[in-house]
Copies of this chain bind each other. A is one copy, B any other.
Amino acid sequence: MPPRSRTPAAPRATRPATAHRRDAAATRAAILDAARRHFARAGYDHVGVREIAADAGVTAALVNRYFGSKEQLFAEVLASGFDIGPLLPADRATFGAVLGRFIAAAPRRTPDDQGPLSLLLRSAASPTAGKLLREHIDTHLVGPLAQWIGGDDAELRAALIVSTLAGLGVLRRMVKTSALAGVDEERLGALLGELLDAVVETP
């Protein structure tokens, strides 16, 4: 999921592009996109409505007019959200290898920490955002993963996997611990893959 361009997707082009865009749908989309990037970068508490608005080329008043409040804006960002589905390989034997490589490479794909995991982690400490996060994680991450794993303890195993990825994200991207800073991507991916397989395959 690369960051969408700030340019509106496909609005009716009935109006010339003046200083004011005056296209509700496009403006709304721009705000939502800016919000997603900023929330992922800094977390719910550390980004202001002004900042998001400025990035979307509007003022803070308009953000609240469209979304009601900062909290509702965050809720919509989540809803426009993220899903683990596409990451689940058809072949069970390659699970660890595929997911491990994918996660290990994440910082290279989205260097500015704009990924969904950053969004999750950076906002989890907030009482307001945390409430919204819980439901989304259960529905879109743990749930599908548990179903894919199947069998006994599927939910527990799924939660452990998600938590492993979350923890790695915390240390790597938030704390930026030195041991993970310049780590070899291949090596990390391999080790992580073994670990993930251990969770899925343990009797």
Residues of A within 8 A of B (CB): 42-43, 45-46, 120-127, 130, 133-134, 137-138, 142, 146, 153, 155-160, 162-172, 174-180, 183, 187-188, 191-192, 194-195, 198-199, 202
What number of copies of this chain does the assembly contain? 2
Interface secondary structure of A, over-half rule:
helix
Query: In the assembled complex, how far is the CB of residue A151 from the closest CB belonging to chain B, in whole angstroms?
Result: 13
Assembled-state Cα–Cα distance A202/B196 (Å): 12
Contacts of A157 in B (CB 8 A): 191
B179 x A142 contact (CB < 8 A): yes
Assembled-state Cα–Cα distance A187/B133 (Å): 26
Assembled-state Cα–Cα distance A121/B125 (Å): 8
Contacts of A191 in B (CB 8 A): 153, 156-157, 160, 199, 202
